[in-house]
Chains A and B, each alone.
Chain A
Amino acid sequence: MAESPNVRLHLSNRSENVLLVREMLSGFAESVALENSDLYDIRTAVTEAANNVVLHAYEGREGPMEVELHTTPDTVQVVVRDSGVGIRPRIRPADEAALGIGLPLIQALVHSVEFSEANGSGTEVRMEFLAGCERPLAPPEPEHTDTHPLAVDDPASTIAVTVSPATLARAVLPRILSVLAARAHFSTDRISDAQLVADSLAAHAPESLGADRLSLTARVEGRTLELCVGPLGAGRADRLVMDSDVQGLGPVIEKLTDERRVATVGSSEMLALQLVDRA
C-alpha cells in the first residue's frame, strides 16, 4: 500500500510484544471513540494474527513483526507482517486441530482478510474491519524513507513506533510506554512519569519533527527505559526538550528523565532519553 499508516510498529515476535499491539489498538480506539464491540473484534482478530507470527512465523526462532494501522472514516485496516517461513506451511490441518481457532476466528471477525506473501518471503495478513470512528483522525503525514526511525543495534529488544497524526500519539504512546515501563519493573509513580513524558513528546514532537507525526524507538534494558526520538532536524533535539518548558516549572521532559543525550546521525539528530526508577 502506498499510503502511509496511522501507526506503524516494528517489534520482535516475542510473545510479550503482543500486549504492545493490543495496547496500541486500545489507545487508537480511545482516540477515535470506537465502539467497544468494534475494539473487541479488532483486538481479538489482530491478536490471533500476531500470535500466529509469535508461534509459527520463525519456527521457534526470534524474528521481526510489523503491524500497521490504517483508517478511513468508516473502516479500520490492520496489517500484520513477518519475514518468516511464508504462509503455506502455516494453514495446515494439524495447527487447526491443535490451537486452531485462529484463522476461523479472524475470518469470522473481519469484513475482509487477505493473506499474501510479504516482500518475497514471509506473510502479510491484511484485515479490514467496518468500524466507524466517531472522531475521525486527520490523514496521516506522507512518509519519506528518511522519516523512519533509524536502524537500531538490537532489533530484538527494540521496538520502533511511528504515529501520525500526533493527536493519535497522545492516546497510543502513553500506553506503549506504560507496558515497557512495567517491563522495566517501574513502580506506578514512575510509570505515570513515563506517561507524562509520552504526553509531552506527543504535544511537542510535531513542531520538532516538522511533521504531524511522532516516531521513536524504545528499549528496556534491565531497569532502564530508553527512548530515542527522531530523526529530527539539526538543532531540533534540544529544542524538543526546551519546548516542554512550563513557566515556573522548567522543561518537563528534562525534569522527568534521568539522562538526555543528543546523537547526530548524518544531517539528523536523535534525542535519547533515559528513565530509571529511582526507588
Chain B
Amino acid sequence: MTPPVSAVPKHAPHNGHHDEQELFARWHEHGDREAREALVARFMPLARSLARRYDRSSEPFDDLLQVASLGLLKALDRFDPELGHSFPSFAVPTILGEMRRYFRDSGWSVHVPRGAQERALRVRDAQERLANERGRAPTVNQLAEYLEFDIEEIIDALQAIQAYEALSLDAPRPGADEDVMAYGDSMGRDDERFELVELDATITAVLERIPPRERLILRMRFVEDLTQTEIAARVGISQMQVSRLLRRSLDQLRALTDEGRDGPRRRKGGLSD
C-alpha cells in the first residue's frame, strides 16, 4: 500500500532537474520565498508518503505529517545541488531523521503500533477497568490520562466503537481478565431469565420486533432509568457495547415507527397504549 520512499513525486516534470536547480538557487542565494513554496509544493507528496509509512503507529497522522513537513523544510534549506545527488535522495533521510527524533522524544518506541481499531479496543478495555476500580464510568480526561492518548483519540475511539461490528458479541477481548467470559457466553445464560421479567411488561408492537436482549437494555435505560454502567454490569457486557446497542436499536425503532406510520402525523401517547 505504501509507496516506496525513494519514489520521485509523480508530478515532477521531465525537465524537473534543471528547473529544481533554478528554484534552489533562487531560494538559497536570493531568499526567494516563491521558489521555496514551489519546492514545498513539489516535494510535499514525498513528505506525505513518508508520514503515511507511520500511519499505523501510535501517533495521529496529522502530527506525523507536520513533523515530516518540518523535515522537508529543513532538507530544502540544507540541500546542496552542486553535490550531484537528487533532492529526494537527500531529503528522505532528513525527513525520516526528523520523524525518528520526534518518535524518540514522544516515547514512541515503548508503544505498540496501533491503528484506530486497536485504539478503540484499548479504550473499551480501559473504560471497563476504570469503571470496575472506581465504581463509576471514567471521564474522557481520565481515559486519556490512563492510556496516554490525547482527547481526540479517545473521542474518536468512542465513535469508532459504534462502527466496528468486529467488537460485537464474538470479538475476543485482548488483555481481558481471565474470569471475564466472552460476551456470547455471558449473554446466553441470562437471556431466559430476562425474558421472564419482560413477559409481564407491556410489549408494544414496535418493540416486539427487535431482539430480546436489545429490548431489555432499552427498558433498563428508559423505563427503569439505570445508567449504562449499571446495565453493563447486569447484562455482563461493556458499557460501550450497551451504548452501541442502544444507538442501533433506537435507529431501528425510529425506522420501524416511520414505516408503521399511516400518514404524515404520528400517533402520540405510546406510554399509555
**A residues in contact (CB < 8 Å) with B:** 19, 22-23, 26-27, 30, 37, 40-41, 43-44, 47, 93, 101, 104-105, 107-109, 174-175, 178-179, 182, 185-193, 195-196, 199-200, 203, 242-243, 245-250, 252, 255, 278-279
Which B residues lie within 8 Å of A246 (CB)? 206-207, 218, 222, 250, 253-254, 257, 270
Asked if residues B158 and A191 are in contact (CB atoms below 8 Å), the reply is yes
Interface membership of B136, Cβ < 8 A: yes
Residues of A within 8 A of B41 (CB): 104, 107-108
Write out the residue numbers on chain A whose beta carbons fall within 8 Å of the beta carbon of B239: 188-189, 192
The chain B residue sitting closest to A174, CB to CB, is: B159
Report 29 cross-chain contacts, Cβ distance below 8 Å, ordered by A residue. Answer: A23-B152, A40-B61, A40-B65, A43-B62, A104-B36, A105-B66, A105-B69, A109-B44, A175-B155, A185-B141, A186-B140, A187-B139, A188-B137, A188-B139, A188-B239, A192-B246, A195-B243, A195-B247, A199-B250, A246-B206, A246-B218, A246-B270, A247-B205, A247-B270, A248-B273, A250-B223, A255-B222, A278-B227, A279-B137
Residues from chain B with Cβ under 8 Å of A188 in the complex: 127, 137-140, 143, 158, 228, 239-240, 243
Query: B222 touching A249 by the CB < 8 A rule?
Result: yes
Q: Does B111 contact A (CB under 8 A)?
A: no
Q: Among residues 167 to 221 in chain B, which have CB atoms less than 8 Å away from a CB atom of chain A?
A: 202-207, 218-219, 221
B202 near A196: Cβ-Cβ < 8 Å: no
Residues of B within 8 A of A243 (CB): 266
Q: How far is the CA of A43 from the CA of B156 in the complex (A)?
A: 14
Q: How far does the alpha carbon of A93 sit from the alpha carbon of B36 in the complex, in Å?
A: 13
- State how many residues of chain B have any CB contact under 8 Å with chain A: 62
A interface, by DSSP: helix, strand, loop or mixed? Answer: helix
User: Once the chains are docked, how many angstroms separate the CA of A245 from the CA of B218?
Assistant: 13
> Smallest CB–CB gap between B95 and chain A, Å?
13
The minimal Cβ–Cβ distance linking A255 to chain B, given in whole angstroms, is 5
**B121 interface hit (Cβ, 8 Å):** no
Give chain A nearest CB distance to B7 CB in angstroms: 16
9 nearest A-B residue pairs (beta carbon): A108-B44, A247-B270, A189-B228, A182-B140, A187-B137, A192-B243, A248-B204, A247-B204, A249-B222
Chain B residues with Cβ below 8 Å from A200 are 250
Nearest CB of chain A from residue B68's CB, rounded to whole Å: 10
Q: Is B99 among interface residues, defined by CB-CB distance under 8 A?
A: no
